[in-house]
Chain A
């Protein structure tokens, strides 16, 4: 369960710079949570930490803590059913949509946004985020 992912910390870590704000829905599978954060950290080698804005509140992820959870994959097809993901349709290419807060311009990276879905700024209650103009 995502709530139990070891790299999610409830408090702002000291001594690291939190460089990005990520918005994720609750109840994500471990694979999707990992895939989303992997994409965020992959885009910036110097990104030390990110804050994940859940509907229920923020959590913090430090790069090193997150990387420690990534284990090498096996290059095998495995036994029956083990490798179904290799042969299923589609490909996981997780990519965030960037939104800004109209109040202070803070940038949020939103994953898994349904068409027409509105996101509210976690810092400014009731303020709808707007799609970033540089997107």
Chain B
């Protein structure tokens, strides 16, 4: 019985360690996914800012990136009137659709990731963008990744 108790205790420790390792790996994977989604928010906004410069000869700086909170996705071309999604992004794992294997708000399975992009204009020639992705990691617990970038009217 003593030997059995010792072995059981040892294996409980090992099992707990491995279980914790798998859990932490899952958390790390979510962090990686979230960091790329946050970076995507920044890149989308930069793409729109650049369009406003190139598209109209530099006279429409910030037209499509007004101050405020929004939830752009991969195909967003303006955040005017876009609004913010407080619910999570969806991932469409089906094949052959316009949203296949993309994160968006219309099709697929709900993910834990909530993305919000904040635009501020500190000056007439600067647009600051902050992209935040938040996700739940357990009951009552959440994590977030925040990316920030500053765009200047250099045109």
| Chains A and B come from one and the same complex | no
Residues of B within 8 A of A (CB): none
